[in-house]
């Protein structure tokens, strides 16, 4: 069995996990929520093995490097980071109802990596700019931040749906889909803490990227499109956290910022690689 097969199994594990979590919400079947968690954990173990095996395969080909060098590999790592972070959130807050708003992001990342025609799944040699010890530090820190922002986006969508439901219901509790979700206060707390976590890791990723850029290109900052959009994304979350601390922003405002911020993350990660040319354009390879 090779890494591609393991990662293929991972895609379907995340799909099944997402379906189970969503079914838990739709049918209020809390008893089966453990199946979603166990399937997500199984997929995570398969994916971890697949990533490790791909790393070994690269050495067997004589071009050994960490599997972080192109769009396919980064999508796989993105999905892996989302699941790790989500399972951590689920364990901390002891609530599996969150899975229906988080696991689909991991599935979509793996599905796009697996089935998109423009994604090259082959193991290829590193381009000169990527031949650095900073590769792992920079990519991993960025994707931990991205994963946290993906979960925050899912929680933001959850908040807006539940808030809208409560407004329509006039504050009365029922037995619908949204009534089984955590309280608005709890969701808001999860969004905030998740955004803080992601912001710290994104900041670390930008710093390691700047140091790497100076090593590779002789300058810490060159206003490359990827660098520019990374800074824009950083400011979106910085302003959100500032507004939280200073103005006391909460609720729908923070939920919307979590969604808008993740859209900025997606453009920074995907849009820049495919729509704009620059020093980071090798990411599309």
What is the greatest pairwise CA distance in the chain? 65
Residue 276, pLDDT above cutoff 70: no
135/98 same-domain check: no
Predicted TM-score (pTM) of the model is 0.92
Alpha helices in the chain (DSSP H): 3-27, 33-60, 71-93, 103-115, 134-169, 184-217, 225-247, 252-266, 272-275
Domain stop point among 76, 101, 126? 126
pLDDT digits (tens, 9 = 90+) for 118-146: 788 888 887 776 777 788 888 899 999 99
81/170 same-domain check: no
**CB contact at 8 A, 10 and 110:** yes
232 is in which domain, residue-wise? 130-285
pLDDT digits (tens, 9 = 90+) for 214-230: 877 778 878 888 888 99
108/168 same-domain check: no
pLDDT digits (tens, 9 = 90+) for 167-190: 887 656 656 677 788 899 999 999
- pLDDT for residue 255: 96
87/135 same-domain check: no
């Amino acid at each position: 069995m090779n890494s591609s097969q393991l990662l293929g199994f991972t895609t379907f594990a995340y799909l099944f996990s997402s379906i189970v979590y969503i079914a838990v919400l739709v049918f209020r079947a809390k008893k089966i929520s453990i199946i979603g968690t166990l399937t997500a954990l199984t997929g995570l173990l398969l994916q971890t093995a697949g990533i490790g095996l791909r790393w070994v395969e690269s050495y067997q080909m004589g071009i050994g490097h960490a599997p972080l060098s192109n769009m396919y590999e980064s999508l796989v790592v993105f999905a892996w980071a989302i699941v790790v972070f989500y399972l951590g959130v689920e364990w901390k807050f002891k609530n599996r109802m969150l899975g229906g708003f988080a696991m689909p992001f991991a599935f979509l990342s793996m599905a796009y990596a697996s089935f998109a025609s423009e994604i090259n799944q082959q193991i290829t040699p590193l381009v000169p700019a990527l031949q650095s010890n900073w590769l792992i530090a920079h990519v991993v820190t960025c994707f931990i931040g991205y994963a946290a922002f993906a979960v925050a986006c899912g929680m933001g969508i959850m908040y807006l749906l539940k808030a809208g439901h409560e407004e329509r219901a006039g504050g009365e509790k029922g037995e619908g889909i949204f009534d089984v979700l955590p309280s608005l206060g709890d969701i808001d707390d999860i969004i905030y803490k998740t955004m803080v976590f992601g912001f710290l890791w994104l900041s670390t990723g930008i710093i390691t990227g700047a140091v790497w850029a100076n090593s590779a290109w002789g300058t810490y900052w060159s206003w490359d499109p990827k660098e520019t959009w990374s800074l824009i994304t950083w400011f979106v979350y910085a302003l959100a956290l500032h507004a939280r601390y200073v103005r006391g922003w909460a609720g729908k405002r923070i939920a919307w910022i979590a969604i808008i911020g993740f859209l900025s993350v997606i453009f920074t990660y995907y849009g820049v690689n495919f729509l704009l040319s620059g020093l980071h354009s090798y990411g599309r390879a």
